[in-house]
Structure 1
Amino acid sequence: MNTLPQNFQDWFATRGWQIHPHQQQLLDRADAPATLLIAPTGGGKTLAGFLPTLIALAEDPKDGLHTLYVSPLKALAADIRRNLQTPIEALDLPIRVEDRTGDTSQTKRKRQRADPPHILLTTPESLAILLSYPDAPKIFAGLQRVVVDEIHALAESKRGDQLMLCLSRLQSLCPDMRRVGLSATVEDPPALGRFLVPNPLPCEIIKADPGPEPDITILHSETPPPWAGAGAAYAVNDVLKLVEGANTTLIFINTRAQAEIFFRALWAANDQSLPIALHHGSLAREARDKVEAAMVAGSLRGVVCTGTLDLGIDWGDVDLVIQVGAPKNIKRLVQRIGRSNHRYNAPSRAVIVPANRFEVLEAQAALEAVRENTLDGEPRAKGPRDVVCQHILLRACAGPFDATALYHEVRQAGPYGELSRPDFDACLEFCATGGYALRAYDRWQRLMLNPDGLWQLRDARSAQSIRMNVGTIVDTETLNVRWRGRGGAPLGEIEEGFAATLTEGDTFLIGGQVVRYEGLREMTVQVTKGRKEPRIATFAGTKFATSTLLSTRVIALLNSGDWSALPEHTRRWLEIQQQVSMLPKPGRMLVESYWRDTRAYTCFYGFAGRNALQTLGLLVTKRMELAGLHPIGFVATDYALLIWGLDAVEDPAALLSPEDLRDGLEGWLANNAVMKRSFRNVATIAGLIVKNLPGKRKTGRQATFSSDILYDTLLKYDPDHLLLQITRAEAMGGLVDFGRIEEMLTRVQGRIDHVKAPHVTPLSAPMLLEVGKVPIYGAAIDRAAAIEAAELMREAGLE
């Protein structure tokens, strides 16, 4: 057992602390090649990860880089630097800590390469760039440890794949390097351990005491939630009362656009002028920094935010979390709940605010899952090859390399343990020539073999361009928004597609303010103070789909026979559904058919997520056309697909037959915008499309035009091109979510309950309120929508 040095024990004592068992366990295993620590929020994970480093450097403060800390957020790295200074200064330790992110000045970055700090805090993208320099072996010469914080968040995206390739490169430079992963929410610890460690080493897993159960409730407002929609405006006054009763409240909302809308509604109802702010990724960095500083200072009572504040930053005295809208994912809910009472053995306090009636069910299912310590998560796919292509180009920037050595190095990364040599060689060939259809173009001839049989950049000057385009986050193209006059102060950014629809005098919301569009100057949207009712800026953000596990739990709740935890209006809704039709059953699919006016409606309760059910809608309506059933349109939610047409569906099983379903989808996808969008992302990551060049940047329209031409060219002349292979796989798994369709059909196996209802059913009625919905805001529109909803619910027997 490694005893905590006396000076550290004394410092712990001055703060009234004792070393936690999991911190001691990690200290005892300081020399283990790889360790994964799973500990609750506020349980001292970060200090546990750094204790071995602080002790080692206190005893032997050698110059050079000792420990590398990697986090998913720039703000998290900056927060850790502030927190580390406390023990360093209190113990008078000769340790230099610095961060290196996209916000770090060029002067400081250059100095860090020549004189690295003892502890460097960074992000996956910045680490990839640092490794691309020829002096990387010198920079990392003394590296002993790598600490990966919030590793679960990185493992869910290509940023994690990129990071593991970087760690594999570091392991080659520093064979004795040790890895530590930190997380609070892990559904499958062994799988995450395999992701972290170099193949085929084992990963030691330490699980801390989870602490007290969180205090979670669902808001049951006197005003029932609406039948459809995601705004939760009905609960604004209830949320304000909760904010009044807490010190600091984080109000999480799933999308940026809804965060803007809810913040404005909250501010309009804020008669007490409580200090409430807005925080999301499309706001100007200056605005986000201001909000974060105010949170640390404890001067805010509430912050409406998106996933930008999900992760483990210690934001002052947050003692309440409010989740507006269904969380869609149990693990995400647990992560967000942990932002409140950020202390070990203090229960987190959270309130879920359903945005509509169906979300009451989803919120209840999620709450029960949290109480049972059940987390969701999809199995990780194999590491994507577009990230390998980017890694190869970056490796070439650092100097000549041997292909076989690099292949074995890549195979050491957990996500790429099964990468075949032919697949690696295809990536290398693409990096060298662009592939069969593009090899005649000089711009894609990027690598060459030198006389020593090593691969190197064909033109060393291309290294700058490659570094400028590092990353696996392909942002939706945006334009900066600035005040006209006022020194041109920045407000944030909006999507290029939305900006293209604006004409002078149009108003929209950004940063909780109504602004008036005055024009576009030098690719910057200029605005003044707006006064009329706004349009809403359309932020892409992340459109969450309800997880498979949460969907399964919703079905189980419907069939539990115990609805006592649900509000009376929801119980009544389900009871009438049973009278008019039936409830969806586990392992079966409920399909309802009914006539409304001159239209035949068919509702498929698939519980497979919005993306998957939208895709199913395309496939089923195509089959309906072939069968002469004349479909007119469809709408999908996370739980159901509603199709309307001129003829009734008599045999829904035939429309859902899995036979030839994939072939039909791939044929439809080939010339679809979904596939082109996926291709643009893949081609950008792999380096085929270069968006950032020294002194200039392509607009989104230019990049889209270039990628569409390339896609059409490859589809015609090289349909088996590496990037098209990657694109097909990603489109099927992400934007189209075909895997969940296959999972749904496998689960159902033709067991369909077809109900021919006498009229619109209670469970399908909210779907009709989604049909053709256009987000226009104003009192008249709101009143008309309320009248339409009331009439529809009376028809369904609910009013």
Structure 2
Amino acid sequence: MARAPCPSSLWFASRGWKPFAFQKEVWQALHDGDSGLLHASTGAGKTYAVWFAALDRFAQMPAIGTAAPPRRTSPPAPLTVLWITPMRALAADTARALQAPLDDLQINWSIGQRTGDTGSAERARQGRRLPSALITTPESLTLLLTRADAREAFAHLSMVVVDEWHELLGNKRGVQLQLALARLHLWNPQLLVWGLSATLGNLAHAQQVLMPAGRLVQGKLPKDLRIDTLLPPGLERFPWAGHLGLRMLPQVVAELDASSTALVFTNTRSQAEIWYQALLDARPDWAGLIALHHGSLSREVRDWVELALKEGRLKAVVCTSSLDLGVDFLPVERVLQIGSPKGVARLMQRAGRSGHAPGRPSRATLVPTHSLELLEAAAAQTAVAERKVEARLSPEKPLDVLVQHLVSMALAGGFFAEAMLAEVRSAWAYRELSDEEWQWALAFIRHGGHSLTAYPDYRRAEPDADGLWQVPDARLARRHRMSIGTIVSDASLAVRYWTRGGAGGSLGSVEEGFIARLRPGDVFLFAGRPLELVRVENMTVFVRRATSKKAAIPRWNGGRMPLSSELADAVLVKLDAAARDDYASAEMRLLRPLLEVQQQWSALPGESTLLAEVLKSREGWHLFLYPFAGRSVHLGLASLLAWRLARSQPLSFSIAVNDYGLELLCASPVDFAETLPAALAASDELLNEILASLNAGELARRRFREIARIAGLVFTGYPGAPKSTRQLQASSGLFFDVFQQHDPGNLLLSQAQQEVLRQELDVQRLQQTLQRLQALQLDIRPIKRATPFAFPLLVERFRESLSSEKLAERIKRMVADLEKAAGPGGYQTDAPGFAIDDERPMPRKRTPRQGKDGKPRPPKHRPQKKTL
């Protein structure tokens, strides 16, 4: 039976809008008391679908057909809706979107925000009374749950909305949220939970993790998603990552000039800094019309950029993933993506930042930074058209998150072990938590495990005579509250201007590891301007404006994203078509000279063949293999192959990997054609072989740093006095050694090893890749010189041992020799120099080594070797 018109429909009608079918379906679902997952394209209207459903069900709406009543002077409704957002930047924009209907309909609800950016005065007000709808992050929600009066504060909570669920699903922040929701469900079993997502390839899993039962609503709207490529005038037939980048600057400037407002996405903050400065250098008249946005800039700068973009006062913003999600920038006409997005979901998400409204087309233009990214661009267009979106899986049983949560709940009035176990197991990630693992977790928060029993700092919670677990030490309680969360990064230093009176204005933050390499007087690029380092004091970097154009580029962690399986599969389809002389798209036609040289000198990889190239050079014996499985998998596969090949005789290998393939180089003779088939064979001992082939202990030690900080073993310091990265590394390393020697059964050690296998090496995908390779025809091709596909792997290896200038010289000579061998047909340009868009900091200028004739001598190359 159809429902009568509701105030939500009337509000839509007053704006000339007509609710979509999926919005009405969500309204009906909440009216029926159902939870669910709403999956719809970006800008389709997901926010108002769930917000009006909440208002219709829980708020006192004005009577239909009557004027809205005057706003009452009574206090607003208590906390009724929690709105979880994965990013602080989304909170303010979401608050504005939710406030508009309240004002128009004069609903007596209040909207509040609780994130890391919330000021102390607002926190104090919320401490006295929470707003009717609170927009917060997983970390801030957990912090709220540690309040002694948390149950009373959340007594009227009726609904939780998890925005951008796909961004939380696959990481520990999502697990932290699962545990928080388990606590809220305990207090209110009738609590409604709705997830919102735009790009998910595994909806059933996403829904199951968020809520055991509920509706799946899909907003299948005819969204016009246009993906195209900004084609260069021509391409070198021997590409290398980073060489093309800024050569596309004139075309990018022309595209921005023809657009009213655009977002220019980059994959790293370093790249964003470079492109912003390059655009300003190319068009000085755009000063004040273009801006820079990434997570290391100060909140004030980011807020200004977001507001100016929303009001249409900016022509372009160069940004990173900091603007990937949810923020509604209606003026944005188009998106440019510098470099490959490396994933279908990421490309669709970023494309959706343009035309962010129902019925408006979204357009993303790919800007290749090297020749082979044209191949990825062509494949990405096909994958987007076919909606081949990557799946995201929730982590299972991360014990560092569990022990942090147990201490948090011990602060919130305490818990009884048996009841808490049932609560924890109700979270999807811990549904199979064993009794032994549970007892270990309790022992860990009680005395730090077997090896830390004598230290009072690790007695963070303990049961009283009645079995109620609580935190007995107020000092430890304060420390824990400051450490809640699962986002772990290197220590950051504030960047401020130096003035005669002391500290000046704030610019943001930069990682300590980068600044440690600089000396006073050195220049680096940050916040879109060259800055001279004055001094470092009290975790603050003091700088002044510099006139030098040659500057180091800060490099933040998390730079290189691996190619997704879906995009890699689409690339192989394009290569198969090229092997059949099918060059249907403009991107593939431009790539034709490169691919034809690859075919003439070797062959093209494909869906049914595994291409292996064998080369003998002055450096030794090379193997180039092209599984197209992504950088992480290729690292594990290269190490595994090297280990297997070295079992029969002692061999040393140099290894290089990229998203397309891998290189093994051995100074000793190796018959790769004879030994490779056996090295690629399947094995029942694959896991043990992977651990044996890698320095697994060092990888696990590095991963343990994050686990130790989340689990509370390492305290990061007090506000204004954080510990340095070196101190944190030393502390976590000491714990790692102590556990290995005195507590080898510590489950955090095994978690570190599992995370190395699952996240850094992607062992599941590695195993699937090996199985896939077994079904392929191995095509071993002897080659006389590096092919277009092999050349980028050579450059990757050279990067490890050569400075920027020496690398440029060597590449220049190699490209000239290869182009000469390939004959006419290549794109003739100036000899490629080492472009400034390489992510590494530029080294100090060194005096060239001189030969007897007074001319500079060629650089020595000492390849980095891996002895097995």
TM range (shorter): over 0.9
Q: Which residue of 2 aligns with 1:618?
A: 639
d(CA) in 1 for partners of 2:611, 2:568? 14
Q: Which residue of 1 aligns with 2:59?
A: 57
Say whether the 8 Å CA contact 2:611–2:781 is kept in structure 1. yes
Q: Which residue of 2 aligns with 1:498?
A: 514
Structure 1 residues 59 and 705, CA, compared in 2 at 3 Å: closer, same or farther? same
d(CA) in 1 for partners of 2:88, 2:792? 41
Query: Partner amino acid for 2:565?
Result: T
Residue 591 of structure 1: SS of its match in structure 2? strand
1:245 aligns with 2:247: no
Say whether the 8 Å CA contact 2:709–2:715 is kept in structure 1. yes
Q: Which residue of 2 aligns with 1:654?
A: 678
Structure 1 residues 779 and 649, CA, compared in 2 at 3 Å: closer, same or farther? closer
Q: How far has the Cα of 1:631 moved from its partner?
A: 3.8
d(CA) in 2 for partners of 1:471, 1:20? 37
Query: Partner amino acid for 1:249?
Result: A
Q: How far has the Cα of 1:4 moved from its partner?
A: 6.8
Q: Which residue of 1 aligns with 2:528?
A: 512
1:523 aligns with 2:539: yes
1:548 aligns with 2:549: no
Q: Which residue of 2 aligns with 1:227?
A: 239
1:758 aligns with 2:789: no
d(CA) in 2 for partners of 1:673, 1:2? 63
Q: Deviations over 1:512-534 (max 9, x none)?
A: 21111122111211112223301
d(CA) in 1 for partners of 2:474, 2:412? 10
Q: How far has the Cα of 1:743 moved from its partner?
A: 1.6
d(CA) in 1 for partners of 2:526, 2:2? 53
d(CA) in 2 for partners of 1:334, 1:363? 13
Residue 58 of structure 1: SS of its match in structure 2? coil
Q: How far has the Cα of 1:622 moved from its partner?
A: 3.8
Q: How far has the Cα of 1:678 moved from its partner?
A: 0.5
Q: Deviations over 1:379-411 (max 9, x none)?
A: 444242211111111000112211111111112
Q: Which runs of 5 or more structure 2 residues have no equivalent in the other structure?
A: 63-74, 827-868
1:282 aligns with 2:302: no
Structure 1 residues 492 and 736, CA, compared in 2 at 3 Å: closer, same or farther? same
Structure 1 residues 273 and 364, CA, compared in 2 at 3 Å: closer, same or farther? same
Paired residue total: 796
Query: Partner amino acid for 1:410?
Result: V
Residue 593 of structure 1: SS of its match in structure 2? strand
Q: Which residue of 1 aligns with 2:743?
A: 718
Residue 318 of structure 2: SS of its match in structure 1? strand
Q: Which residue of 2 aligns with 1:135?
A: 149
Q: How far has the Cα of 1:600 moved from its partner?
A: 1.9
Query: Partner amino acid for 2:241?
Result: G
Q: How far has the Cα of 1:51 moved from its partner?
A: 0.4
- Mapping for residues 41-440 of structure 1, pairs under 5 Å: 41-55=42-56, 56-59=58-61, 63-197=77-211, 201-224=212-235, 227-230=239-242, 232-270=245-283, 272-273=285-286, 275-440=289-454
Q: Deviations over 1:148-198 (max 9, x none)?
A: 11011111211111111101101111221100111111211111110110x
Residue 642 of structure 2: SS of its match in structure 1? helix
Q: How does the TM-score come out when normalised to structure 1?
A: 0.95
Say whether the 8 Å CA contact 1:760–1:796 is kept in structure 2. no
Q: Which residue of 2 aligns with 1:20?
A: 20
User: For the aligned residues, what is the CA RMSD?
Assistant: 2.4
Say whether the 8 Å CA contact 1:254–1:306 is kept in structure 2. yes
Q: Deviations over 1:637-685 (max 9, x none)?
A: 0111112222243322233345444324324656644322210101111
Q: Deviations over 1:601-650 (max 9, x none)?
A: 11011222112222333333344444447445221101111122222433
Residue 349 of structure 2: SS of its match in structure 1? helix
Q: How far has the Cα of 1:108 moved from its partner?
A: 2.0
Residue 247 of structure 1: SS of its match in structure 2? coil
- Mapping for residues 598-747 of structure 1, pairs under 5 Å: 598-628=619-649, 630-646=651-667, 647-650=669-672, 651-659=675-683, 660-667=685-692, 672-693=697-718, 696-747=721-772
d(CA) in 2 for partners of 1:8, 1:530? 56
Say whether the 8 Å CA contact 1:314–1:342 is kept in structure 2. yes
1:453 aligns with 2:467: yes
Q: Which residue of 2 aligns with 1:789?
A: 815
Q: How far has the Cα of 1:5 moved from its partner?
A: 5.3
Q: Which residue of 2 aligns with 1:535?
A: 552
Query: Partner amino acid for 1:42?
Result: G
Q: How far has the Cα of 1:741 moved from its partner?
A: 2.0
Residue 465 of structure 1: SS of its match in structure 2? helix
Say whether the 8 Å CA contact 1:211–1:344 is kept in structure 2. no
Q: 2:574 aligns with which of 544, 549, 557?
A: 557
Residue 764 of structure 2: SS of its match in structure 1? helix
Q: 2:606 aligns with which of 585, 594, 606?
A: 585
Q: How far has the Cα of 1:249 moved from its partner?
A: 0.6
d(CA) in 1 for partners of 2:223, 2:609? 37
d(CA) in 1 for partners of 2:125, 2:494? 31
d(CA) in 1 for partners of 2:472, 2:402? 19
Query: Partner amino acid for 1:268?
Result: D
Query: Partner amino acid for 1:526?
Result: F
d(CA) in 2 for partners of 1:676, 1:121? 37
d(CA) in 1 for partners of 2:694, 2:401? 23
d(CA) in 2 for partners of 1:537, 1:50? 41
Q: How far has the Cα of 1:775 moved from its partner?
A: 11
d(CA) in 1 for partners of 2:801, 2:556? 13
Q: How far has the Cα of 1:720 moved from its partner?
A: 2.1
Query: Partner amino acid for 1:22?
Result: F
Say whether the 8 Å CA contact 1:323–1:350 is kept in structure 2. yes
Say whether the 8 Å CA contact 1:634–1:644 is kept in structure 2. yes
Say whether the 8 Å CA contact 1:240–1:266 is kept in structure 2. yes
Structure 1 residues 780 and 633, CA, compared in 2 at 3 Å: closer, same or farther? closer
Q: Deviations over 1:125-145 (max 9, x none)?
A: 000000011100111000111
Say whether the 8 Å CA contact 1:430–1:722 is kept in structure 2. no
Q: How far has the Cα of 1:467 moved from its partner?
A: 1.0
Query: Taking every aligned residue pair, what percent have the same amino acid on both sides?
Result: 36
d(CA) in 2 for partners of 1:12, 1:554? 44
Say whether the 8 Å CA contact 1:98–1:119 is kept in structure 2. yes
Query: Partner amino acid for 2:48?
Result: L
1:768 aligns with 2:794: yes
Q: Which moved more, 1:489-498 or 1:173-182?
A: 489-498
Say whether the 8 Å CA contact 1:8–1:91 is kept in structure 2. no
Residue 734 of structure 1: SS of its match in structure 2? helix
Q: Which runs of 5 or more structure 1 residues have no equivalent in the other structure?
A: none
Structure 1 residues 239 and 780, CA, compared in 2 at 3 Å: closer, same or farther? farther
Structure 1 residues 706 and 210, CA, compared in 2 at 3 Å: closer, same or farther? same
Q: Which moved more, 1:716-725 or 1:557-566?
A: 557-566
Say whether the 8 Å CA contact 1:591–1:652 is kept in structure 2. no
Query: Partner amino acid for 1:547?
Result: S
- Mapping for residues 468-507 of structure 1, pairs under 5 Å: 468-485=482-499, 487-507=503-523
d(CA) in 1 for partners of 2:583, 2:623? 27
Structure 1 residues 428 and 185, CA, compared in 2 at 3 Å: closer, same or farther? same
